[in-house]
Chain A
Amino acid sequence: MLKNIGKNMNSFKKNLLKKRYNAERRFQWYGKIAIGLALSFLAVFMFQIFSKGYSAFQKTWIVTEVHYDKELLLIDAESPSKDDLENADYYDVAYKAMTSLDPGLPEEEDRQLIQMVSYKYEAEVKDLLLKNPDYLGKIVPIKLTASDDVDQVHKGNYPRDIPEENRRVNDYQLQIYDMLNERGDILSEFNISFFTSPDSREAELAGIASSFMGTVFSILVCLAFSFPVAVLAAIYLEEFAPKNKFTDFIEVNINNLAAVPSIVFGLLGLGVLLAVFNLPRSTPLVGGITLSLMTLPTIIIAARASLKAVPPSIREAALAMGASNMQTTMHHTVPLSMPGTLSGTIIGLAQALGETAPLILIGMVAFVNTIPGTPVDPAASLPVQIYIWSESAERGFVEKVSACIMVLLAFLILMNLAAQIVRHKFEKKWS
């Protein structure tokens, strides 16, 4: 008959057992609370970003009518060529397109209407005619980019109840806005230019194209520099180097390197790449090399770990077949370690992707309003773009900051996903 079970259990044993169960239950609760806290922080963070940023993906347009008057355009030719259209004077035509919204307005007050669209409205008027030369002489409707203030009013981000002198949109402009809105002449469409335009001082025109390309080029340069060096270093250290004090010393230092604050690498980039080698500043080339210093130890550590994870039996099998060390490594160990190495590389690159401090030091914080075509053109990067915009006073940049964070997060999630896929899909299963 079993002692200490059910009715036979004495009270001391009962208490002890109860305590053990309670301890376990408590422990599980602590864990659940910790996870709950972490998730709620994440939820608040995400909610903040999404609620602020989603409106940046909408762009507000003001629809008006433009009369492509040959006289005002100063075009003399009967059938004007492309060059004639290119060189025509659009100032008056564009100006009239806006002032026609309220013909009763005295001339000296016209600026109030012009301020409702972006300063590029003249270029937009010109582009429409260049695309449709047959509009010449006709009155056609045109979409003009609304100024960031009107944009914010339309998105409901701009409070109307503060005194007029503290508002960037005055009562008259609000009246015009309301009139246009009632007519359906305020359009809200997907903001393509956010992805295709470079940075701008004007929030309604600013886009992430230059910083996105800057990030892509930086990451590519970083990959090109760090991956080969790191993989070769890892293979040599793991497969060929003798195990002695010196290689131990190197190993310790690689681990230390991984813990060095990134700003220190930025200073190194500034002091060596820019000052000594005179590489072009503010470029993804310098940024990428600086970042590769950071990712190098991460990749070496990942590559060594995955080389170590290749079972010794595979090496023995190859060696026993008469393969040389080099053949064993290149035919078997390295291919088998590649999934781990690659996913480590992607994780390292994802870290570099979010790095801001070293890029600021090497000048990638500069205002760049061109889209870089090569790694040696000046560019910003996504995290630096967030930093730049977050310092801007205009209300329109608030949503841009959040939107840019969303793009960066999407980029990061994609890369981490890629790392997961590489790891799980290509990893060999051992018998």
Chain B
Amino acid sequence: MSKIKAENVNVYYGSKQALFDVSIDIAEKEVTALIGPSGCGKSTFLRCLNRMNDVIEICRVEGSIKMDNLELNSRKLDVVRLRENVGMVFQKPNPFPKTIYENVAYGPTIHGIAQSKEEMDQIVETSLKKAALWNEVKDRLDEIGTGLSGGQQQRLCIARAISVSPEVILMDEPCSALDPIATAQIEELIDDLKKEVTIVIVTHSMSQAARVSQKTGFFHLGKLIEFGPTDKIFKNPENQQTQDYITGRFG
């Protein structure tokens, strides 16, 4: 089942083109990894999926990106509704400098999801449990989120993202600022989450892509060079560039 279908996506930063005719099918409730050397456009593509490129004034997106047959790259689209359904986790953990509880409750509050305090407590607890953080923070929900360790902060950000029950979660190198133990915890979490949500993850670590994803796309110089099942990409790539990249000959 295809969840997101991108066709001929071109992205420009001013006069500089960053993505060239990217077409990709992202399957539902799977983990899709996007790999490639720095500056290849994988993050730019990821940010097209929740319209975060809108923030950059000089950025222009062309082409069609459909999610469940809804055109995302359209002026008429309500980005607030879109982002309620497409969560995002960033490279550097960026919890709000508020309490742990407020961090998780922020999304449900602004989208009016919880009707009562009890319901909100429930949402916060479930989200933190799903993010495997509940046991560590249940006694100190009123402490400031930025006081947690790096790995805990990133799991808090994941809890925040899933608090509004999105259908898709975008992850932009979520483990690049974390140590190996925290990375392993996040990867385990991704494995659990994919039962319910579609995950698109940008990563620099090829071993991580191999461990967590079902499909992998290789980007190079703004083009999607190869896209297919992770097994095939890593064991038997069709393209020479893909082969060179995953064997570490460049990038």
Contact = CB atoms under 8 A, between A and B. Distances in A.
Interface string B64-107: 00000000000000011111100110101111110000000011
Given A332-B96, A431-B146, A321 B83 contact: yes
Contacts of B106: 318, 321, 323, 331
A314 B96 contact: yes
A430 B150 CA distance: 12
B146 A322 contact: no
Interface of B: 50, 52, 55, 57, 79-84, 87-88, 90, 92-97, 106-107, 110-111, 146, 150, 153, 157, 160-161, 164
A322 B96 contact: no
A430 B97 CA distance: 8
Given A321-B160, A322-B107, A431-B153, A313 B94 contact: yes
Contacts of B150: 431
A319 B55 contact: yes
B23 to A, nearest CB: 25
Interface string A119-140: 0000000000000000000000
Contacts of B50: 320
Closest 9 CB pairs of A and B: A322-B83, A313-B94, A320-B88, A428-B97, A322-B84, A317-B94, A431-B146, A321-B107, A322-B80
Contacts of A336: 97
A3 interface: no
A157 B50 CA distance: 79
A242 B55 CA distance: 11
A293 B82 CA distance: 44
16 contacts: A242-B57, A316-B52, A318-B96, A319-B55, A320-B52, A320-B88, A321-B106, A322-B80, A322-B82, A322-B83, A322-B110, A322-B164, A323-B106, A323-B110, A430-B146, A431-B153
Contacts of B90: 313, 316-317, 320
Interface of B is mostly: helix
Interface residues of A, number: 23
Contacts, number: 70
B83 A319 contact: yes
Which of A315, A316, A318, A321 has the most chain B CB within a 10 Å cutoff?
Answer: A321
A314 B50 CA distance: 17
Nearest to B97: A428
A322 B79 CA distance: 7
Nearest to A430: B146
A314 B164 CA distance: 18
A242 B58 CA distance: 11
A236 to B, nearest CB: 16
A327 interface: yes
A243 interface: yes
Interface in A247-287: none
Which of A243, A314, A317 has the most chain B CB within a 10 Å cutoff?
Answer: A317
A168 interface: no
B52 A431 contact: no
A25 interface: no
A429 interface: yes
Nearest to A243: B57
Nearest to B84: A322
Contact of A327 (B82, B84, B110, B146): B110
